Amino acid sequence: AQRVTQPEKLLSVFKGAPVELKCNYSYSGSPELFWYVQYSRQRLQLLLRHISRESIKGFTADLNKGETSFHLKKPFAQEEDSAMYYCALSGDRDDKIIFGKGTRLHILP
């Protein structure tokens, strides 16, 4: 069975400090991993996906198959990064896409 685990419900970080949101997954095949973000009063939207290997708004995430992790990182937090972040997994056997429980990131001034 596929599973996505985000161990932190809330993460508070000072502005300018580094951010790391953890995501671990369980899947026996070749998954595709995503980070979605939900800003206040906005729709859920894609932040980045592992196959793109791109940096969006200063965030990066590397898929580590050995540790089954896809942690989201940003070297210097900004106040506008405050939001709810969800890690998601899409498997290679069907079209099911599941999410973790989410981490609320709060950037302190």
Partner 1 sequence: NAGVTQTPKFQVLKTGQSMTLQCAQDMNHNSMYWYRQDPGMGLRLIYYSASEGTTDKGEVPNGYNVSRLNKREFSLRLESAAPSQTSVYFCASTQGSSGANVLTFGAGSRLTVL
Q: How far apart are CA 83 and CA 91, in angstroms?
A: 26
Residue 90 near residue 97 (C-beta atoms within 8 A): yes
Closest alpha carbon to 33 in 102, 101, 103, 99: 99
* Residue of 32, 56, 68, 73 interacting with partner 1 (CB under 8 A): 32
Establish if 74 lies at the interface with partner 1 (CB under 8 A): no
Please give the size of the binding site for partner 1, defined by CB under 8 A: 22
Which 3 state secondary structure label does DSSP give 59? strand
Q: How far apart are CA 21 and CA 7, in angstroms?
A: 9
Establish if 23 lies at the interface with partner 1 (CB under 8 A): no
Establish if 106 lies at the interface with partner 1 (CB under 8 A): no
Q: How far apart are CA 12 and CA 68, in angstroms?
A: 25
Establish if 96 lies at the interface with partner 1 (CB under 8 A): yes
Q: How far is the CB of 98 from partner 1 (least distance, A)?
A: 6
* Residue of 12, 26, 28, 45 interacting with partner 1 (CB under 8 A): 45
Q: Nearer Cβ to partner 1, position 9 or 109?
A: 9
Helix (H) or strand (E) holding 45: strand 45-49
For partner 1, the binding residues (CB under 8 A) are: 6, 9, 32, 34, 36, 43-46, 49, 86, 88, 90, 94-102
